[in-house]
Amino acid sequence: MKKPHENKPHEEHEKRSIRVEAMTRVEGEGGLEIEVREGRLEKVHLRIFEPPRFFEALLRGRPLEEVPDITARICGICPVAYQMSAVHALEKALGVTVPPELRRLRRLLYCGEWIESHVLHVHMLHLPDFLGFDGVLEMAKVRPEWVQRGLRLRKIGNELLERLGGRAIHPINVAVGGFYRAPRSDELVPLVADFEEGLQLAIESTRQIAQLDFPSFNQPYDWVALVHPEEYPFNEGRIETSDQLAIDPTEFEHHFAEIQVPHSTALHAIRTATGKPYLVGPLARINHARHLLRPTARRLADEIGLETPCTNPYRTILARSLEVVHAIEEGLEILKTYQPPRTSRIAYTPHESHGCAATEAPRGLLYHRYALDDVGKITAASIIPPTSQNQAQIEADLKALIPSLLGLPDEQLATRCEQLVRCYDPCISCSTHFLRVHIRHQ
Amino acid sequence: MPAKLRLGVFKFASCDGCQLSLLSLEDDLLQLAEKIEVVYFLEATSRIESGPYDLALVEGSITTAADAERILQVRRDSRLLMTIGACATAGGIQSLRNWAHHEDYLRAVYARPDYIQSLATSTPIAAHVRVDFELRGCPVNRWQLLEVLSSLLRGHRPQTPTHSVCLECKRRGTVCVMVAAGTPCLGPITQAGCGALCPAYDRACYGCFGPCGQTNARGWSDYLSSQGTPPLVMIQALRSFSADAAEFRSEGDRLETLSKDTAREEATRE
């Protein structure tokens, strides 16, 4: 089978090629290619061999009602994000606005996914790097308390998704216009005790994670996230950059683009104004909206001394942990006051139209655009997931990091690069289906 | 104590959700880890060992020439091979390309289709290699996954029910969405396993677990036709997350041929 690191012997002119055939503890399948000649870094490619699945093409001709169910299948880790961006984009096309009580239920569902997805990454995929293990199962033998806490927290997120969404992976309850059925009080209220316990666990683990050693490595990021005047961003807001650009999501495609660069067959996401890559995800969100974290999460951010703007990718695990605290705290508030809404779904009449929306997936901004015909069938779809937006930034980070690592043997250098990539919680399953990735002809 | 069972988890074209179900076993995961040695599971661990494996769990469908080769190697390396989920057992949602013009699909998604290496079809694992056991679902039910793994550990052949979703609705006391609300529901011809989730949330089953045992797909579409359901609605219901499952595929194709014939007859009559 595949070997993780295949090191070719050093060739003449001191050419060094390092390949990570298969990156581990990331979602989906990708690798890294690094080339160094005479002590200088020549090439860094995040290589993606995840096969394309053509969602934008297969959606054409399908009824709009199926879009949240179909796009959920893009990613088993963050299906709710796809469902949320899909329903908001379609509701824009249909001219539907959901009432506040349904909007709150949608925020609650997103809380469940942030908890589930972030805890998976922080506790099961990322912490092994900091604590020196191959993975969560190896870590469980030596540090069972860390793993037990992660499993418990993840279960809390999953239980919310199951009760509100029907199931944790590919929930079945999200509809254009609202929900197929609003949960009864007796379905949601029992979660209050779990969330209270979860909040303490999340605070405790964030404090411990803050004590870990973080490499000092700062990057000149342009951080991009949804920004809402009153709430930490989930489903609504303007898209803002670190240099004060603030646009409506309808303008997204004017300001952000994917371009082809001369040295690579991969298209890179850039700001059209600067021609440079940008950063989406937890660090981008907390840099914009730290003051909008719920009070406990906000105080915890102060207590652990998270500096914002934070430009150290290794500290993203702190932003992610704080967002878990936030999601549990906000979820708890919604659960405590939950009353079933009078109606679970707003009716609509399809007409020829188009609409777009962006929401904050656990990994960052997720943009959807759809066009509909007069009977509500999809005529065009465009989906831009967070990992494809981060890809150019990941490569830029690697270019900045590698020169300081050239003294290391190949395998250690590769491991350090993989660790940097992992900070992004990249979801390659998501990115490849749209991203114009380079799958090279040999 | 006997040696631990060596487990490999392999991904092909898929969303990662079914292998995630393994990590979602929570407390049972740690107990399982006492009996199973996970030696290849890219999503979960940096420990990577080559075969042979006692058991390979395979997620995803075959959509590239390279993957068609890779699955042969996984089969050679594995004593038992079990597919997990609708992509691996029935082609998944990506098998909608099997009815489309592949070039159009490429051009619709990629600016430079020439960079993309992809087959014109998405096919289940069993179309390429011998499969010892198939676990259905989009996603799989994690308790069924646990049950199957426990059976294999005990050396038993796993058993999962093959009856239809209807039976689960009755057991759950859910009002039938087809009879009461006239909603076209795939439940009567879909295998149980989800706990009849969708009807319990006031919507029709959309077929995540593929065709049930002794599927009467023809009876299903005859009934819906008699209720005035348009052929396209039935065809699209059948061509979804288990599109390449034989019983769904053949009934969808039959309906399509039929509606084309009808359209042609009407055209000649005019």
Amino acid, res. A139: M
Of B17, B43, B104, the CB nearest to A25: B43
**Amino acid A435: pLDDT:** 36
User: How near does any CA of chain B get to the CA of A84, in Å?
Assistant: 17
A120 closest CA partner among A324, A419, A416, A385? A324
- Please, which pLDDT band fits residue B262 given cuts at 50, 70 and 90? confident
**Phi-psi sector, A201: left (phi>0), alpha (psi -120 to 50), beta:** alpha
- Please, which pLDDT band fits residue B113 given cuts at 50, 70 and 90? low
Closest B-chain CA to A438: B115
- Report cis status (omega within 30 of 0) of the bond before A340: no
Buried b (16+ CB within 10 A) or exposed e, B233-249: ebbbbbbbbbbbbebbb
Query: pLDDT for B137-196, tens place per residue?
Result: 999 999 999 999 999 888 888 889 999 999 999 999 999 999 999 999 999 999 999 999
Mutation target among B5, B9, B10, B16 for the A interface, most CBs of A within 10 A: B16
Residue A272 CA from chain centroid, whole number: 22
User: How near does any CA of chain B get to the CA of A68, in Å?
Assistant: 13
**Amino acid A46: pLDDT:** 84
How far apart are alpha carbons B206 and B194 in whole angstroms? Answer: 11
**Amino acid A262: pLDDT:** 46
Tally A–B CB contacts below 8 A: 198
Mutation target among A54, A151, A160, A388 for the B interface, most CBs of B within 10 A: A54
- Tens of pLDDT along chain A (442 residues) come to 434 444 444 444 578 898 888 888 888 778 888 999 888 898 888 877 777 888 988 999 999 999 999 999 999 999 999 999 999 999 999 999 999 999 999 999 999 999 999 999 999 999 999 999 999 989 999 999 999 999 999 999 999 999 999 999 999 999 999 999 999 999 999 999 999 999 999 999 999 999 999 999 999 999 999 999 999 999 999 999 999 999 999 999 999 987 655 444 445 688 998 889 999 999 999 999 999 999 999 999 999 999 999 999 999 999 999 999 999 999 999 999 999 999 999 999 999 999 999 999 999 999 999 999 999 999 999 998 898 899 889 999 999 999 999 999 999 999 999 999 999 998 877 665 443 333 332 3
How does the average pLDDT of chain B come out, rounded? 92
**CATH dotted code for A73-219+278-388:** 1.10.645.10
How far apart are alpha carbons A257 and A275 in whole angstroms? Answer: 9
Mutation target among B46, B63, B76, B202 for the A interface, most CBs of A within 10 A: B46
Find out whether A21 and A410 touch, Cβ atoms under 8 Å. no
Cross-chain Cβ contact B29/A73 below 8 Å: no
A65 closest CA partner among A279, A415, A370, A435? A370
Number of Cβ within 10 Å of residue A425's Cβ equals 29
Q: Taking the model in full, what pTM does it have?
A: 0.94
Of A181, A436, A438, the CB nearest to B201: A181
ipTM for the assembly: 0.95
Domain residues of chain A, as ranges? Answer: 73-219+278-388
Concatenating the DSSP letter of every residue in B37-61 gives EEEEETTTBS-B--S-EEEEEEESB
**DSSP run (H or E) holding A46:** strand A40-48
**Amino acid B249: pLDDT:** 96
Cross-chain Cβ contact A51/B44 below 8 Å: no
Cross-chain Cβ contact B46/A25 below 8 Å: yes
Of B15, B46, B66, the CB nearest to A429: B15
**Amino acid B29: pLDDT:** 83
Query: pLDDT for B184-208, tens place per residue?
Result: 999 999 999 999 999 999 999 999 9
Q: To the nearest 10°, the Cα dihedral for A277, A281, A283, A287?
A: 80
Burial of A347 (0-12, 13-18, 19+ CB in 10 A): exposed
- Please, which pLDDT band fits residue B240 given cuts at 50, 70 and 90? very high
Of A135, A158, A429, the CB nearest to B16: A429
